[in-house]
Structure 1
Amino acid sequence: MTPLLQLAAEQKSADVTDWPGRIGWIVGLLLFIALVYWLMRQGWKWRGTLQGDVPPLPAAPSEQSPAKMELSGRYHGSTTAGQWLDRIVAHGLGTRSRVELTLTDEGLNVVRPGANDFFVPTAALREARLDKGIAGKVLAEGGLLIVTWSHGEKLIDSGFRSDRAAEQAEWATAINNMTKSKTTITTEGTAR
């Protein structure tokens, strides 16, 4: 026998699969994923703590006038007005959900199954516009209805997407008409 063949015959074949090493890598990867998830959750809680100055959300009044408009769709979250990446998580405003919007003379009623409902009084509404994005959601130009409202000393943008996107422009017009008439009444009241 040649020395090379003799050497090959003396060596044992190596194990094809190193099970303890493979299991160790899988456990390590799962622990790393769990750590990243835990850190993200802690960051979300910390953001909520930092936003502790946001007052509790108003509830809808028991007596309301008939609905002017209704919308069914998705709620994509709320941000600080003008800063579309600064998500507000306090009081559940950062939680995405289905939404049923109702616009009345008293304001905007936001009903969210599985999340906190809230009400925006007419006096708190500032404007509405169609935009392309809000924290965590970017669509085509005009794909989101953004409603700007004041809550305490903070201006908030809330993003909604209707199941029927064509009706979002009507909503923006209706809300802007409400805020303009409110401004006109205030101006007339102070002029007298």
Structure 2
Amino acid sequence: MKWIATILLILALLLLWRMMFMGYRGRALQQKKEFPRPLGSRDWKGLRDAVDGVYVSTTDAENALDRIAAHGLGTRSAVSMGFVAEGVGLLRQGARSFVIPTADIVGVGHGPGMVGKWMGREKGLVVLRWKLGERVVDTGIKPRHPAEGARFAEQVEELVRTKDQQKPTDGSGGAQ
């Protein structure tokens, strides 16, 4: 009689796991319609000033609990983040690598955590805020060494500052 209960429990757990998997997959398929696929780099060998760490996730900037599942952006992985010609490169192991174009970077900051990883320290994660299509998202990375993460964040801040200074200020946008 115990073995029947054990088999029923195992089947119930497998069914529950399957339902969770199908729900996440459905969410990713739905979000693929909302979010464009992030760019890839043409030259990952050119990744400079790389900082190793853990890619935590990408979430909607307005709703920190809304993980973006499309295009593998919700998949936790090891990462080397650095700079490539196109912008900030996230070279991931076991998940799709991508580039945040310089023009799409809104800002950078630090946080104690986000969906998928909570550090409890004020500056535990480096959080990149950027535009993915029409939406603003946050990508969290836990650097292996906090000092390297702080240095990287300063470099991104400088990149954003430089980008903002290069924008035309006459309102014409450079087009005629």
TM-score normalised by structure 1 residue count:
0.82
Output aligned runs, 1:61-140, within 5 Å: 61-62=42-43, 67=48, 69-104=49-84, 106-139=86-119, 140=121
Work out which of the residue numbers 12, 21, 24 in structure 2 matches 1:44.
24
Structure 1: any 5+ residue segments left out of the alignment?
A: 1-20
1:110 Cα deviation from its structure 2 partner: 0.8
Work out which of the residue numbers 15, 25, 28 in structure 2 matches 1:35.
15
1:105/1:141 CA distance change after superposition, 3 Å:
same
Task: Give the % identical residues.
Answer: 29
Work out which of the residue numbers 111, 124, 127 in structure 2 matches 1:143.
124
Aligned length: 171
Structure 2: any 5+ residue segments left out of the alignment?
A: none
- Tell me if the contact between 2:44 and 2:84 (Cα under 8 Å) persists in the aligned partners: no
1:4 aligned partner: none
Q: Larger C-alpha radius of gyration, 1 or 2?
A: 1
- Alpha-carbon distance in 1 for matches of 2:15, 2:44: 48
Work out which of the residue numbers 130, 137, 157 in structure 1 matches 2:138.
157
Residues 1:167 and 2:143 aligned together: no
Q: Which amino acid aligns with 1:168?
A: G
2:167 aligned partner: 186
- Tell me if the contact between 2:43 and 2:84 (Cα under 8 Å) persists in the aligned partners: no
1:138 Cα deviation from its structure 2 partner: 0.7
Displacement over 3 Å in runs of 4+:
61-66, 187-192
TM-score normalised by structure 2 residue count:
0.89
SS in 1 for 2:165: helix
The structure with the largest strand share of the pair is 2
**Higher mean Cα deviation, 134-143 or 91-100?**
134-143
SS in 1 for 2:35: coil
- Tell me if the contact between 1:65 and 1:106 (Cα under 8 Å) persists in the aligned partners: no
1:106/1:96 CA distance change after superposition, 3 Å:
same
